A and B are shown apart, each in its own frame.
Chain A
């Protein structure tokens, strides 16, 4: 084939010489995606047990999920907490990133490290810490408690994504706006924010997902009237293997992928 001997790059490496790389990449991509996708056929099984590949097909496990008050409560909690986390983490994180970017004081570096600590420490530590703190504060098993904890987890992402966008932004534009008569907040809203809006939208979606997918912290501080979907799934898997899990997983994969695609689309438009 001509294609194999044609150059793949400007350095004259041919596609043939690159073949091993292409194969490796495809294998890695399959390994990344298959464990996620395997739940989809499993969710349409008619069997009592989780089964792959399914022998008979049905949608009974979807009916079971949508018919269950318990699962619906957990779904509502998860969506509510994820949405509120997004609303809280995004503005705080964007303002923090802006402050870190605009400020010249030495404390900035310490503040940055503090803000991204939740990303670096084992999440179980945060979970245990939050549990004991929430018992004292009497906000265990509340939406407030969950939103606070998830905001802590989402902030590093918002700060990093927005901070990266600000690095490519010329702050003298904001000075120009201020010299033209805009108070600082107005210069930020009318000149800076419109130019980093894709990073802000991406940050918001990532905050939503951080909360929606989170299980470890939720295991400790959700429950009672406010169990999250992930917590209930985890418990269900531990107690009995129920194909309802597969149908919920499928729905979650769709929600998550949808959000990621949205984030990508917004990211692309930056150009």
Chain B
């Protein structure tokens, strides 16, 4: 957690950054296009980011996330489009006048300055009096759990500490917008998980509008208010983590977020059918030329007795069971040849008692988990 461990003295408390003078700003991106030769790095992107929101740009490598962030920061000038911070059009504003805090994938700390020198840099640029700089630098370092590290050299810090210094430097001048480009991608998994929580609570505390870039779907689901899934320079879907997982707009999003089995289905009158079998589904199916049934592995049941009412059932032949520690994965072949994967919790440390290869089994899917999606890739 960012909050200092143990009770802070009154003086320390004052030094910690406060939300009071950090007013967040909404960001409005409209019709932004950026091409590099034949590559559309950004293809007519429009996006409304709410004031104080934690929004994540999620997408595979090369999808245009960094380019969009660079447009927000002012380092990349789009071919056309408009960008507003609050009511102010900033597309022509140079980076140093945008008042945007930013962290870089490589941290981009200044190795010729101490930790305090780095964090104080934006304040020195703003001609803040010396004594106040010292106070605010100490406060920002406190906020990122690096109190007392001011005199250290950058090369004496671990990766996680460097990341914290980069964050302290980006927030010390109390910008109203914070941009972060894959800040945790260089850290190992344990530290990454911890920093996700820390960054999220820092956001809660400071309340600035935050645009966060990652290619890690779990990280995005953990941290964000909303997620914009990006592919080929376009926004595929903008939704809350829950909606993104439960109601993906198309196959690309469904495939990118979480695991799933896709079965081709067709519309027959009022019904959606899979291989002549009418399906019960809770949410209405989208209007699209091709439709897919999306089944999340952890939502599929292995049926033994009579299924619940309205549950969709599928006859299948068991294939291998894969032990994965916290859970197992059972692959089963439907009679049309499609493979359905089912994930279940490992109990009593064993996967004995599960069907073995070649067994005939029945799989069940509740109507709420029978999600019909647009079958197109985008």
Stretch at the interface among B99-107, B256-264, B316-324, B343-351: B99-107
**Segment from B27-35, B119-127, B188-196, B328-336 that makes contact with A:** B119-127
Stretch from B8-16, B108-116, B280-288 that touches the partner: B108-116
Docked-complex contact B125 and A181, CB < 8 angstroms: yes
- A/B pair count, beta carbons within 8 Å: 66
Q: Is A64 an interface residue (CB 8 A)?
A: no
Taking a contact as CB atoms closer than 8 A, the residue among A175, A186, A194 that contacts B104 in the complex is A175
Report the Cα distance A209→B94, complex, angstroms: 41
Closest to A174 in B: B108
Report B-chain residues with C-beta under 8 Å of the C-beta of A144: none
Is residue B73 within 8 Å, beta carbon to beta carbon, of the partner chain?
Answer: yes
Chain B min CB distance to A199 (Å): 14
- The CA of A195 and the CA of B102, in the complex, are separated in Å by 21
* B194-248 interface with A by 8 A CB criterion: none
B169 within 8 A of A: yes
Q: Which residues of B have CB within 8 Å of A187?
A: 96
In the complex, which of the residues B94, B99, B121 contacts A177, with contact meaning CB atoms closer than 8 Å? B121
Q: How far is the CA of A172 from the CA of B107 in the complex (A)?
A: 9
CB-defined contacts of A80 to chain B, threshold 8 Å: none
Q: Does B159 contact A (CB under 8 A)?
A: no
Interface residue total, chain A, C-beta cutoff 8 A: 19
Known: A175-B75, A177-B121, A195-B112. A182 touches B96 (CB 8 A): yes
Question: In the complex, what residues of B have CB within 8 A of residue A173's CB?
Answer: 108-110
Contacts known (A175-B75, A176-B102, A177-B121); A183 close to B108, Cβ less than 8 A: no
Question: What bracket does the count of chain B residues touching chain A fall in?
Answer: 20 to 34
For residue B84, give the distance in angstroms from its CB to the closest CB of chain A.
Answer: 18
Among A170, A178, A186, A190, which residue has its beta carbon within 8 angstroms of that of B95?
A178
Residue interface bits A171-203, CB-to-B below 8 A is 1, else 0: 011011111111110110011001100000000
* Interface membership of B173, Cβ < 8 A: yes
Contacting pair A180 B169 (CB below 8 A) = yes
Residue of B nearest to A197 (CB): B112
Cβ-closest chain B residue relative to A171: B108
A residues less than 8 Å from B95 (CB atoms): 175, 178-179
Cα A150 to Cα B126 with chains together (Å): 42
Residues of B106-164 contacting chain A, CB below 8 A: 106, 108-112, 121-122, 125-126
Nearest B residue to A187, CB-CB: B96
Q: By the criterion CB–CB under 8 Å, are A182 and B112 in contact? A: no
Residues of A within 8 A of B111 (CB): 195
Interfacial residues, chain B to chain A (CB-CB below 8 A): 73-75, 94-96, 98-102, 104-106, 108-112, 121-122, 125-126, 169-170, 173, 179
A residues near B (Cβ < 8 Å) are 170, 172-173, 175-184, 186-187, 190-191, 194-195
The contact sample of 15 A-B pairs, CB cut-off 8 A, is A172-B105, A173-B108, A175-B73, A175-B75, A175-B102, A175-B104, A176-B109, A176-B110, A178-B95, A180-B122, A182-B125, A184-B96, A190-B121, A191-B110, A194-B112
Q: A173-B108, A194-B112 are in contact. List 6 more A-B contacts (CB 8 A).
A: A176-B110, A179-B95, A179-B102, A180-B125, A180-B169, A184-B96
